[in-house]
Amino acid sequence: MSTATVSEEDGHQEHHDHGLSDVGYIKIAVILAILTAIEVATYFFDFGVVEVPSLLILMVVKFQIVVSYFMHLKFDSKVFSYLFVTGLILAVLVFAAMGTSMVFWQNPSGCDASAFC
């Protein structure tokens, strides 16, 4: 009895050890909340020319944190990372292709940056 029970408990503990502890996840959530607060602050205060770059950087950092820790990609098999990153790259290519078609095909005289975003 004890062997099976201990083995099962070890299995659960081992699985859990590959991620973070509950306290670790709460710390990650606090970091995400702080980053979101900084994002929202850009709406209330004028950050000037750094506003858009800082928002993009914060977005990427938040994205990376959720994917790495909450989705366990940092601890899981690389196969999952390949699958997900492939989708992300294709999504960026879709954005680039649509942007290119809208900007260049509609304005043969040249690139109208204002039409993009």
Partner 1 sequence: MDDTAEAQTSGLAYGRTEWDDHHHLPTNTGLTNEKVTMWAFLGSDCLLFGALISTYLLCRNRIGPATKGPTAADLFDIPFTSVSSFVLLMSSLTMVLAVTSIQRAEMERCKLWLLTTAALGSIFIAGQVYEFTGFYREGLGFTTNISSSAFFTLTGFHGVHVSLGIVMLVTMWALVTRGNLGPERAETIEIIGLYWHFVDIVWIVIFAVVYLIP
Helices (H), 1-117: 2-17, 22-44, 51-65, 78-106
Q: Which of the 8 DSSP states describes residue 110?
A: S
* Residue 24 CB partners (closer than 8 Å, separation 6+): 69
By C-beta, is 77 or 111 nearer to partner 1? 77
- CB-based contact 67:104 (threshold 8 Å): no
Q: Which amino acid is at 16?
A: H
32-61 positions binding partner 1, by CB under 8 A: 32-33, 36, 39-40, 42-43, 51-52, 55-56, 58-59
Q: Pick one of 3, 7, 22, 110: the residue that binds partner 1 (CB under 8 A).
A: 22
Q: Which residues bind partner 1 (CB under 8 A)?
A: 12-16, 18-19, 22, 25-26, 28-29, 32-33, 36, 39-40, 42-43, 51-52, 55-56, 58-59, 62-63, 66-67, 69-72, 75-80, 82-88, 90-92, 94-95, 98-99, 102, 115-117
